[in-house]
Amino acid sequence: MGKIAFVFSGQGDQFPGMGKQLCEQYGAAADVFKLCDSLREDTSRQCFEGSEDELKETKNTQPCLFAVEMAAFKVLQEKGIKPDMVAGFSLGEVVALTAAEKLSLEDGFKLVCKRGEFMQSAAEKFDTSMAAVVKLPNEKVEELCAAYSQVYPVNYNCPGQVSVAGLTEQMPQFSADVKAAGGRAIPLKVKGAFHSPFMNGAAESFAKVLEGVAFDKGETQVYSDVTAQPYEGDERELLSKQICSPVKFEKIVRNMIEQGADTFVEIGPGKTLINMIKKISADVKTYCTAEMETIFAEVK
């Protein structure tokens, strides 16, 4: 029998009301929200009743997604469904480390709150934007980015899809170059050039916070967005570097498959990651936590 991989989602899939049904149905989920509210008063309200605009603010998005994802994870854990390996996309990596018990729930949540604040602050210093480039090989996207002083490939999602980040003033011409090369640049609804050098200040601030955090050995293998390999050495260095480095999601998934993963469960409010995984491999089974009952019945 193959192995189970849990992948924790990043920004973009949030929506008003997320986590409310989960919290109402499962005590394990309600307990997570209760702890998060004790550390950050508005978390449940923002998830359950907040507006789309409120949830788009990075300082809100990250702690809210952490709460929803850990709540879903705790429900699966209570049902005896456990991963053999985990990874997270951007902020999801902090959740993955928490699920793997390398971080306590309290420390993980506090970290993601700080991370969101630092990344929003860094984003507000520059007029930047992001786009998903589709229908072009990774190498061609890299070549097009290299022609610009401040446009960078930042998320290697799946075959034929790379997200880029850059100065807003440079993005229209970049998008025109993408079109001329046979691809398409789709603007992303995010407020900042995440995982690019524009986030260097946030990474430095986060590194200082991480100095005071204790990491445990943990039981479950965690893959790093920076290396696409299981964590080795100092977690603090990889976790701070991740903020200003590209996310190597496609490579992580391929490495997990090589290590025996044949079932992937996306932990989060949407289906973005499993849609990417389906494009990476047609041979694996995929689930998302919007389909809890299906997971209970089919994932063992």
Catalytic residues: 90, 195
In the sheet with 184-187, reading across from the earlier edge strand, the strands are 151-158, 161-167, 128-134, 184-187
CB atoms inside a 10 Å sphere around CB 259: 14
- Residue 147: Cβ-neighbour burial (10 angstroms; 0-12, 13-18, 19+): exposed
How far CA 124 is from CA of 153, 177, 192, 202, in Å, comes to 20, 27, 7, 11
